[in-house]
Structure 1
Amino acid sequence: MNDIFKALSDPTRREILRLLRCGEKTAGELADHFAMSKPSMSHHFAVLKEAELIRSRREGKQIYYTLDTTVVQDAIAWIHDLFGGGGSHS
């Protein structure tokens, strides 16, 4: 879970996840939304992949990214249980 919090702590990575809600995008399509170098974008993709929030596939020279919705849903459920999961608060 620490990998997920690390990944979500950065606004660029949160924006990448938001962009991927609409479906699969290439690395280039995602990078077009940010004013940063390719190595910086690659670092953000690597952190998101390490947290298993996104998946990638290569097709020729293109790398396509998609949300790993299972992990995202699990993380949301965990956060909900932690902070808003009902029960009594004294």
Structure 2
Amino acid sequence: MEIINVLKALSDETRIKILNLLRIMPLCVCEIEDILGISQSNASRHLCLIRLY
């Protein structure tokens, strides 16, 4: 069941982009939102889902 949750977390294009950015360097939420052009709440929501899995 855990692998299904991981795959669900990775099924979103924005989360994949965030993971690729964080693979290169540590970034804060404000940097992620600027780079991807998303809101702070949206960036935080995606990071929360990534952290869960």
- Give the TM-score normalised by structure 1: 0.51
If each structure's helix is expressed as a fraction of its own residues, which one has the higher value?
2
Greater RCO, CA 8 A, separation 6+: 2
Match status 1:40 vs 2:42: yes
**Greater alpha carbon shift after TM alignment, 11-20 vs 31-40:** 31-40
Q: Does residue 1:24 correspond to 2:16, yes or no?
A: no
In the alignment, structure 1 residue 49 sits paired with structure 2 residue 45: no
Based on CA coordinates, which of the two structures has the bigger radius of gyration?
Answer: 1
Higher strand share: 1
User: What stretches of structure 1 move > 4 A for 4+ residues in a row?
Assistant: none
Q: Percent identity?
A: 33
| Alignment-mate amino acid for residue 30 of structure 1 | I
Return the TM-score normalized by structure 2. 0.80
* Structure 1 residues not aligned, in runs of 5+: 52-90
The one-letter amino acid of 1:49's match is R
- How many residues end up aligned between the 2 structures? 51
